């Protein structure tokens, strides 16, 4: 089976701090791969390198067989990569629906003359319908005209994932989706991630909630000091005494 995301020889150093040390990683369609490890292990830094927020010193990143490590952030997004952030980055002055409408990787309004081109109105309508479908999927259709500040933290997390899915690519990076989330939103996010993987999307999840990772992920990698120390089932990783010592410092 061809991999959606393939990383080889990825390095990144900030002065004397190494945040990525010869990272090699691959993920297949429909797979949910967990990223666990202590704070400062390099998990979010790896997502930043994959997404292009930070440029790697060396290494190769391929998405669907195409090399993307030399692309800008928007180029990688247009190739089919989307992500969320530890801290929700919804636009506070836009409604929930508008937050989704700005997210597709190809917009009919990208140029000043877009309105003069044939098919623009149809393209806008299609994006509008897709956004409403995403809101319906996360049971947030009734919040379409509300603003992010009017929603609970958990519901804002749901909206941030729905916005990422508006990219309609096949690789999704979720950075601590469960942090600060409980109750119905917790179950909704878990169900949404399962559904997207079942549809063939490759999903990488950075998460400190081990129960969430255990419930959802086919396998996981354990990171420490910018290195992938091990890969396997979550059970195997959490039972490994050497990794437990690195995680808890005991």
* pLDDT string in tens for the chain (250-residue length): 589 999 999 999 999 999 999 999 999 999 999 999 999 999 999 999 999 999 999 999 999 999 999 999 999 999 999 999 988 899 999 999 999 999 987 766 666 555 545 566 777 888 999 999 999 999 999 999 999 999 999 999 999 999 999 998 999 999 999 988 888 888 999 999 999 999 999 999 999 988 889 999 989 999 999 999 999 999 999 899 999 888 876 5
Domain boundary among 149, 167, 185: 167
pLDDT value of position 107: 67
Range of the domain at 100: 91-167
Of 108, 133, 167, which residue is a domain's last?
167
pLDDT for 140: 93
Q: Are 232 and 60 in contact (CB under 8 A)?
A: no
Residues 66 and 1 placed together within one structural domain of the fold: yes
For residue 170, the model assigns a pLDDT of 94
The alpha helices in the chain, defined as continuous H runs, are: 43-51, 73-79, 96-101, 120-137, 153-165, 184-198, 210-216, 234-239, 241-248
Under a CB-based contact definition with an 8 Å cutoff, are residues 96 and 49 in contact? no
Residues 67 and 179 in one domain: yes
Instruction: Please tell me the predicted confidence (pLDDT) of residue 110.
Output: 62
Taking the whole predicted model, whether its pTM rises above 0.75 is answered as: yes
pLDDT tens digits for 166-176?
A: 998 999 999 99
Q: DSSP assignment of 87-143, as one string?
A: S----TTS-HHHHHHT--SS-TTSSTTGGGSTTHHHHHHHHHHHHHHHHHHTT-GGG
User: Are 76 and 199 in a shared domain?
Assistant: yes
Q: What confidence tens digit (pLDDT) does each residue in 93-148 have?
A: 999 999 999 998 776 666 655 554 556 677 788 899 999 999 999 999 999 999 99
Which three-class secondary structure state does DSSP give residue 208?
A: coil
Query: Do the domain assignments include residue 86?
Result: no
pLDDT on residue 238: 86
CB 156 within 8 A of CB 84: no
pLDDT of residue 108: 61
Last residue of a domain, one of 167, 193, 227: 167
Q: In the chain, how many domains are there?
A: 2
Give the chain's largest Cα–Cα span: 65
Phi-psi region at 10: left, alpha or beta (left = phi > 0; alpha = psi -120 to 50): beta
Instruction: Report the distance separating Cα 91 and Cα 1, nearest Å.
Output: 38
Helices and strands, counts by H and E, the chain: 9, 10
**What is the predicted pLDDT for the residue at 123?**
76
128 lies in the same domain as 231: no
Claim to verify: residue 66 and residue 100 sit in the same structural domain: no
With contact defined as beta carbons under 8 Å apart, do 192 and 138 qualify? yes
């Amino acid at each position: 089976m061809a991999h959606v995301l393939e990383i080889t020889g990825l390095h990144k150093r900030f002065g004397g701090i190494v945040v990525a040390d010869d990272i090699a990683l691959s993920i297949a369609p429909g797979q949910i791969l967990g990223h666990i490890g202590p704070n400062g292990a390099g998990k979010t830094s790896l997502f930043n390198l994959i997404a292009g927020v930070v440029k790697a010193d060396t290494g190769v990143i391929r998405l669907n067989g195409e090399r993307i490590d030399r692309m800008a952030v928007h180029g990688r997004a247009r190739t089919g990569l989307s992500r969320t952030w530890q801290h929700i980055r919804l636009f506070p002055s836009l409604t929930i629906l508008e937050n989704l409408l700005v997210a597709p990787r190809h917009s009919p309004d990208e140029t000043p003359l877009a309105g003069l081109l044939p098919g623009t109105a149809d393209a806008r309508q299609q994006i509008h319908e897709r956004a409403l479908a995403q809101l319906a999927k996360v049971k947030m259709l009734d919040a379409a005209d509300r603003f992010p500040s009017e929603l609970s933290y958990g519901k804002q997390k749901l909206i941030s994932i729905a916005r990422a899915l508006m990219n309609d690519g096949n690789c999704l990076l979720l950075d601590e989706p469960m942090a600060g989330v409980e109750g119905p939103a917790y179950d909704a996010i878990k169900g949404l991630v399962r559904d997207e993987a079942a549809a063939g999307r490759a999903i990488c999840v950075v998460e400190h909630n081990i129960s969430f990772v255990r419930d959802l992920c086919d396998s996981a990698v354990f990171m420490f000091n910018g290195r992938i120390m091990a890969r396997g089932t979550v059970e195997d990783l959490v039972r490994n005494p050497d990794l437990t010592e690195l995680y808890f410092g005991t």
